[in-house]
Amino acid sequence: MSKPFQIMQMAFSGHLNFKLYQERMYQLKVIIASTRPGRKGPTIANWLIEQLKNQSDFEVELLDLKEINLPFMDEPEHPRLQQYQHEHTKAWSKKINAGDAFIFVTPEYNFGYPAPLKNALDFLYQEWTYKPLGFVSYGGISGGTRSVQMLKQVVTALKMVPLIEAVHIPYFNKNIDDEGEFIGDEGHIHMAQGLFKELARWTKQLKTMRS
């Protein structure tokens, strides 16, 4: 049965609104890149998740590299073959395969990205390909932008599509309150909305391309 015909049938059976909403839903994985004790990544990711509650394009899952706890890349075969030997790789593969879009929440370490993120990227290949990627970066004067620029080079080798629209947060500590919670200002919210809009556009097109 063709899709337009299915949708017409649903309209008559009263399921149209629900089904159309479902059709719009893409799986977004938000990945926390830093893993060190005392890291600030989770509070920034929590703020991002709050912002994502105001949109209806994405169903969101938070993936924390600290919890996922991958060892240093230990698969004997190239990831593009998907002949994974270890359960941790199979579990990581399943999580990333289910994603239609990604946002990395990343700091800048020595003008670059954190090593656990590169490690997590290297474990897989096909699971990342032809999927869009947004960034929320934080740091000192650079707002983590040098980390993001370096990441763009890496992720294009995985055929991901890194977006221009991003949230960059310079001097992010200024926005962390006494409870340790990151409170984004209007500028951050504006950047986040621009990112979500662009991410949804690319997600839709790339999902069609993958199907």
CB 201, CB 94: distance < 8 Å? no
The whole-angstrom distance between residue 177's C-alpha and the CA centroid of its chain comes to: 25
To ligand FMN, the closest distance from the beta carbon of 67 in angstroms equals 14
Q: Give whichever of 65 and 155 is closer to ligand FMN, judged by the CB atom.
A: 65
Residue 65 beta carbon to ligand FMN: minimum distance, rounded to whole angstroms: 11
99-118 positions binding ligand FMN, by CB under 6 A: 107-111
Nearer to ligand FMN, 36 or 80 (CB): 36
Query: Which of 107/132 has CB closer to ligand FMN?
Result: 107
CB nearer to ligand FMN: pick between 41 and 134: 41
Q: Which of residues 15-44 bind ligand FMN (CB under 6 A)?
A: 34, 36, 39-41
Q: Kindly state the number of chain residues that form the binding site for ligand FMN, as judged by CB under 6 A.
A: 13
> Is there binding between residue 64 and ligand FMN (CB under 6 A)?
no
Which residues, 133 to 172, sit near ligand FMN by CB under 6 A?
A: 139-140, 142
Under DSSP, the state recorded for 170 is: E
- From the number of C-beta atoms within 10 Å of its C-beta (0-12, 13-18, 19+), residue 58 rates as buried
Q: For CA atoms 184, 187, 188, 193, give the dihedral sign.
A: positive
In whole angstroms, the minimum distance from the beta carbon of 169 to ligand FMN comes to 10
Cα–Cα distances in Å, from 36 out to 32, 53, 58, 64? 11, 27, 29, 12
Are 31 and 104 spatial neighbours (Cβ–Cβ below 8 Å)? Answer: yes
DSSP H helices, 105-185, are 115-122, 145-157
Binding-site ranges for ligand FMN (CB under 6 A): 34, 36, 39-41, 107-111, 139-140, 142
